[in-house]
């Protein structure tokens, strides 16, 4: 067995989209991921399903792993021939102790690469609307550790030189020492009225900013209970925040939204949430797949061979369209053989999926449930007609039952199966317990059922109690009923059963909560 290789990767300040392309490639090719709390947890979803994930940050039942032990862990994994990604928050060379890790790897003859990341020293102020340089205010900046005790700070920082060496001063990990830092800067020449900003958990849903001056910032920190981790910005550039703050103006800013859709479909909803300033957190609890049962396959093949016999083809989901055409291809059935059939679709997305395949639906109800489709079809259906219903194995029986009651022959085809995804996420239960998930979205009844099952499998005995502090968002009344049957209180429901409708409902709910005087802004990361 040969030696493995270690990638020392900067994950950026927290927003998973701020990872570099090279860093993302390293995550995807590695056999093992060694990560800490400052690395965006969503990035772990980019790892291979079989990759080993080792958390070396702080847990409620365990303190942070010592740096010497982390160094040795990287060596041990590489000695087993594994490709390892050491995922660090920010940039690994900026107070990331990458030198210690690389030095031990070099001693063992293990190949490594250092992949820079976007440092929080620059990115976090930017997300708060503070550029670290400005042509009229600051032409240079310094990055300084603020984590050490005052006596160590005095040994590592030459206050007389640092104070006025550059226009902007950036202290990392210094909230607990803010009083001492301010005192030293004033003592060595910075005016007491110099603007200061503290930005906590920058680029994440919990981002919060506190501004003041060197003279009053310590008092403000104590009065507001402002806690680390945060980047401290000292300098005239802080004044730019009033005009340049941007992400806080987005309607979903401050909300981390759990997306439970299948991984293949999650990106669309996640993208909409991200565009509106929310932080999507993907936890797919369902997956769709082709049926494997020989009897089911035989029924599909037989039904498609009779393509010319159908008067109607009724499609109720995008998945139904996609898998219907997969079976047409697999069975070598030309869609033109359905020449006598009219096509009906439930919902604009289903209709769009049909249009992409060259078929314009003959019937598209204004609302997006089976009941509405039946109302739209009522005057067009005739006893003796034959309808094909390509759908999933968990679809409701309402539509075929009603068609049969009207005298039609309804042929149900389970063209795909919905199964529980084998989602593993050690961080999600902790986030839920800490109130770190602000909204849980459900786009189908199966996402509700599987999500609750996944929580129980992870050791959570009472999922409804755990979710009591989160907003529960459902795409429609059927999904909402399922959520309520599981003991959840639905607080957000789309007026139209589409992703756009769901997102619009979330935006409206967010506005309502921010207007309520009793609403605690800290709960939403404002």
User: What residues contact 48, with CB distance under 8 A and at least 6 apart?
Assistant: 28, 29, 30, 31
Alpha-helical (H) ranges within 198-335 are 217-224, 241-244, 263-275, 294-305, 318-330
CA distances from 157 to 94, 148, 189 (A): 16, 10, 15
Catalytic residue among 36, 362, 372, 393: 36
**Number of C-beta neighbours around residue 340 at 10 A:** 12
CA distances from 76 to 5, 10, 100, 455 (A): 11, 21, 15, 33
Active site residue 17: no
Active site residue 58: yes
Residue for token pair 């070598």: 332
SS3 at position 114: strand
SS3 at position 198: strand
Catalytic residue among 53, 65, 137, 173: 173
Is residue 295 exposed (0-12), middle (13-18) or buried (19+ Cβ within 10 Å)? exposed
User: What residues contact 177, with CB distance under 8 A and at least 6 apart?
Assistant: 146, 147, 148, 149, 150, 153
Nearest CA to 168 among 188, 200, 187, 141? 141
**Dihedral sign, CA of 120, 439, 210, 228?**
negative
Nearest CA to 290 among 265, 323, 321? 323
User: What residues contact 360, with CB distance under 8 A and at least 6 apart?
Assistant: 343, 354
234: Cα separation from own chain's centroid: 32
**Number of C-beta neighbours around residue 68 at 10 A:** 10
Active site residue 173: yes
**Strand segments (E) across 316-431:** 342-345, 386-392, 409-420
Would you say 36 and 69 are in contact if contact means Cβ atoms under 8 Å apart? no
Catalytic residue among 17, 58, 155, 187: 58
User: What residues contact 522, with CB distance under 8 A and at least 6 apart?
Assistant: 208
Which residues are known to be catalytic?
36, 58, 173
């Amino acid at each position: 067995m040969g030696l493995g290789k270690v990638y020392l990767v900067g994950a950026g300040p927290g927003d998973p989209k701020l990872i570099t392309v090279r860093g993302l490639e390293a995550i995807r090719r590695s056999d093992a991921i060694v990560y800490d709390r400052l690395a965006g947890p969503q990035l772990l979803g980019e790892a291979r399903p079989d990759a080993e994930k080792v958390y070396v940050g702080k847990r409620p039942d365990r303190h942070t792993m010592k740096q010497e032990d982390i160094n040795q862990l990287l060596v041990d994994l590489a000695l087993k021939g594994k490709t390892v990604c050491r995922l660090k928050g920010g940039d690994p060379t900026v107070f990331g102790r990458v030198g210690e890790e690389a030095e031990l790897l070099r001693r063992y003859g293990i190949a490594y690469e250092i992949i820079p990341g976007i440092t929080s020293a620059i990115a976090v102020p930017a997300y708060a609307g503070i550029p670290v340089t400005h042509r009229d205010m600051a032409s240079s900046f310094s990055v300084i550790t603020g984590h050490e005790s005052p006596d160590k700070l005095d040994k590592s920082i030459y206050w007389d030189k640092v104070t006025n060496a550059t226009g902007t001063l950036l202290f990392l990990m210094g909230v607990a020492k803010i009083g001492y830092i301010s005192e030293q800067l004033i003592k060595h020449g910075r005016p007491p009225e110099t603007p200061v900003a503290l930005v906590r958990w920058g680029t994440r849903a919990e981002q919060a900013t506190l501004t003041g001056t060197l003279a009053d910032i310590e008092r403000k920190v104590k009065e507001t209970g402002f806690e680390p981790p945060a980047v401290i910005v000292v300098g005239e550039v802080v004044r730019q925040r009033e005009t340049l703050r941007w992400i806080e103006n987005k309607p979903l800013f401050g909300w981390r939204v759990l997306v439970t859709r299948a991984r293949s479909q999650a990106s669309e909803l996640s993208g909409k949430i991200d565009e509106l300033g929310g932080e999507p957190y993907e936890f797919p609890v369902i997956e769709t797949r082709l049926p494997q049962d020989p009897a089911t396959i035989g029924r599909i093949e037989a039904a498609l061979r009779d393509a010319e016999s159908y008067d109607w083809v009724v499609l109720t989901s995008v998945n139904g369209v996609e898998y219907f055409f997969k079976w047409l291809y697999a069975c070598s059935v030309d869609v033109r053989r359905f020449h006598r059939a009219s096509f009906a679709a439930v919902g604009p997305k289903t209709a769009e999926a049909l249009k992409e395949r060259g078929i314009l639906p003959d019937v598209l109800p204004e609302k997006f449930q089976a009941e509405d489709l039946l109302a739209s079809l009522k005057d067009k259906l005739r006893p003796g007609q034959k309808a094909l219903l390509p759908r999933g194995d968990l679809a409701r029986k309402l539509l075929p039952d009603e068609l049969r009651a009207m005298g039609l022959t309804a042929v149900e085809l389970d063209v795909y199966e919905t199964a529980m995804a084998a989602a593993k996420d050690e961080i999600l239960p902790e986030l839920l317990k800490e109130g770190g998930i602000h909204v849980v979205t459900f786009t189908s009844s199966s996402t509700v059922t599987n999500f609750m099952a996944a929580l129980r499998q992870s050791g959570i005995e009472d999922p409804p109690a755990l979710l009591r502090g989160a907003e529960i968002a459902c795409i429609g009344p059927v999904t909402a009923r399922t959520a309520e049957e599981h003991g959840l209180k639905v607080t957000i429901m789309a007026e139209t059963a589409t992703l756009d409708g769901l997102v619009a409902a979330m935006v409206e709910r967010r506005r309502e909560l921010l207007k309520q005087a009793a609403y605690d802004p800290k709960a939403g990361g404002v």
